[in-house]
Structure 1
């Protein structure tokens, strides 16, 4: 047989246009929180006016942070977000430090934060899917209810894992449909609030800033909660290599999506506070459901269905984004090499998707992983801070690099201050054992990095065999040019 070289590289394909990029940001940002319990900001701000102000400023700060990432994406046009920015920034320093920040970021995100977050969202999804069914059949046995919810969460995980393995185009189609439904659901809540205001039911809003907290601690915690709800504003840079015309569309998607989410969050909270009292809002376990029962009457069922669609869409996009981090870290050798392999026809990173499915499955079985997310979630503020340092360094190092967009030099300094504030606030105000556990996880990561990455003490024979097995099992190809033998497509073996 004659061997010929294909001109087409085996890599992720650019299939997400501007509309899909906007929907991606919306999907990972708007999950279940704004429908279920957006109470923390109100709890700490203690007034309607201050609550609205905190939500508005949180949106502005998130937009500013997203704009800094937009410039980083033009300087380092690879998928992986913070990971690739650290690689490009610190590779000029001592060999030990060159890859350490990227390894710690990938380890914490891949092994804990993202799969745990997906597990929490899927458990919420199963809760809102199962409740109408359980009520219809009058099932009250707690063991049966628990089994039904776990089964539905695992089923949802299987479905989204299949979608992300099968086709990027299928993912884009489903994400765009669900994203539109999600925005419509938010607009239903906003419309209900406008209707109540038009009917003269604005007594709660007229309280304005009455009772606003004077405690700096409460103000800090209110902003911490508000900014946390916007988590996801930076994730579009995790899929840079799959966005069409990324140097333009990443910035445009941020300028469209983050203000849109901010407007929806602000007006949804105004709607909630129009219908429900402060006490009802703070004590409600499902704010949107209580709102729907008060305003929508027999159509109130649309709210739990909206939460279910919203949570599934969020978990689908979260998994899509984190598998791209697996992909780039596998390429660089900081994770298993086979995580960077893509299916020879579908061009999806099947091994990375399945790995995330397995880890998420284990977190679902633990049932209560919210505390675990909090253990390491605040560590993301350190990574955000390092990204701002990266931008400052790259601005100087690559000052003549051509790019269509740049932010003022003072902006990353301002955002660095914000992120460091958010990192130290919970430690200073409410120090707990979970912060020590988070730091312990990072300490373990440093030891692992020193032994297996820096000293390169790896079982090469075992890893080579494992990569070969995964390659055959997933019909996957290393992300480089493939060879064709006659009419057959040949898989390159490591």
Structure 2
């Protein structure tokens, strides 16, 4: 868009480095700690079969997550762009082949931007609405009300607020995220101290005393237990999706990972110990919301703290997931892998407003659609495929960018180990549950290949896009970023 005040401002427009170490730590905590540890952490217990084995699973999963996160810390210092896996695939593979080189990066952005992350935001905001509304509706005796419709409206309002925050200001996002992350850690600590009280003060050792009794050592059970645990820890790479907004990233990215992932591991392990102090295996497996049952038994009149904690946790999680995926969208658009105007930045607020609005619209569609858990399940196994390919990227970049300064470097065996973990976690769900949903995943990727071939490789651009770009610039007051990469 030539001429006019908006276009002239583009020389100084771009993402700003607003996030320090504390905010980076809180972002990782916000994405890693969602609703799962409060609502349904019992899957690892069900598959491991015993209290002792379950605790080991949670500890080992935390260590694996830390190792994976540290490899991304190195990648984040070698490739100083936002976008995480997308940016790494572009830097390591794009020069290898004219067609196939850019395809892995496009497929990663296609899956994350179009389906997985907005669907996660939709599910998490629905969970937020569930836990915010339940105590209120119960108090009002809302038997005759359409509670599902009320929850859906609340979820839509929450999504609108999340989208508004991420459009308005990165500083506003950072402040709100820091507050909500603190609240969710407090909620986790309430559960832990409740368990300590039951264990040490009241001497409730009946369930923990069973140790490894009933352990299931079949490879399938162990595999599914690890799969459940590692899925709960997912989000450890979230900070490298926003590399361009981190102050002093070469130091703060590794530091934030080394601090936040052990914190989450500590919280997860001791929350599970607390749950297992109060409930037996059958009670945990069959509970609709484990933390709520725990609160009713331990906290008495203060049990309302748990649903409130879940609501705060889920809101903060959805806020940070949307924030991070809009940066992936922003970077992919700069490379010509998404609509060009999705990389445009608001002239005053320094936020990628079109990307934020698009993510809000897609998440809204998923909320309206209703039950989309299977949609997330079919795409979730792809995450570990991307993690595995990212490890290959790391090994490639060690050859192609061997002279690039590396303030932080992981041992090569860690990258190779994570490759084997990713293969394992990609194959487990297909072998244990050979469902048609995985065919749907392959179909969605094939559609992505066709989109890539026609619009990106062949560069077919609909003429209407000129008008769309014009109206987007005028409506959102956005311009191309000053540091835009050429596609």
Range class of TM-score, shorter chain? over 0.9
Q: In 2, Cα distance between the equivalents of 1:114 and 1:462? A: 28
Match of 1:209? 212
Deviations 1:191-240 (A, max 9, x none): 00111111211111111111100211000000000000011001110000
Match of 1:355? 358
TM-score by length of 2: 0.96
Give the deviation of 1:481 after TM superposition: 7.3
Match of 1:171? 173
Q: In 1, Cα distance between the equivalents of 2:63 and 2:248? A: 26
Q: In 2, Cα distance between the equivalents of 1:151 and 1:318? A: 21
How is 1:34-433 mapped onto 2 (pairs within 5 angstroms)? Answer: 34-141=37-144, 144-198=146-200, 199-433=202-436
Match of 1:443? 446
Give the deviation of 1:381 after TM superposition: 1.4
Deviations 1:219-271 (A, max 9, x none): 00000000000110011100000000000000000000000000000000000
Contact 2:46 2:285 in 1 (8 A): yes
Q: In 2, Cα distance between the equivalents of 1:405 and 1:380? A: 24
Give the deviation of 1:98 after TM superposition: 2.0
Deviations 1:385-432 (A, max 9, x none): 110110010011112211211011111111000001100111122211
User: Which residue of 13, 35, 45 corresponds with 1:10?
Assistant: 13
Contact 1:7 1:481 in 2 (8 A): no
Contact 2:334 2:343 in 1 (8 A): yes
Q: In 2, Cα distance between the equivalents of 1:214 and 1:175? A: 41
> 1:186/1:457 Cα in 2 relative to 1: closer, same or farther (>3 Å)?
same
Give the deviation of 1:312 after TM superposition: 0.3
Give the deviation of 1:9 after TM superposition: 3.1
Q: In 2, Cα distance between the equivalents of 1:414 and 1:165? A: 39
Q: In 2, Cα distance between the equivalents of 1:462 and 1:7? A: 23
Where 2:100 maps in the other structure, the secondary structure is helix
> 1:350/1:266 Cα in 2 relative to 1: closer, same or farther (>3 Å)?
same
Q: In 1, Cα distance between the equivalents of 2:8 and 2:376? A: 46
Give the deviation of 1:377 after TM superposition: 1.3
Count residues with an aligned counterpart.
480
Deviations 1:50-97 (A, max 9, x none): 000000000000000000000001110000000000000112211101
Contact 1:6 1:481 in 2 (8 A): no
Contact 1:340 1:479 in 2 (8 A): yes
Q: In 1, Cα distance between the equivalents of 2:89 and 2:283? A: 45
Match of 1:489? none
Contact 1:54 1:226 in 2 (8 A): yes
Q: Which moved more, 1:405-414 or 1:219-228?
A: 405-414
Segments of structure 1 that go 5 or more residues without pairing to the other structure are 483-494
Q: In 1, Cα distance between the equivalents of 2:390 and 2:86? A: 9
Q: In 1, Cα distance between the equivalents of 2:163 and 2:243? A: 21
Contact 1:204 1:277 in 2 (8 A): yes
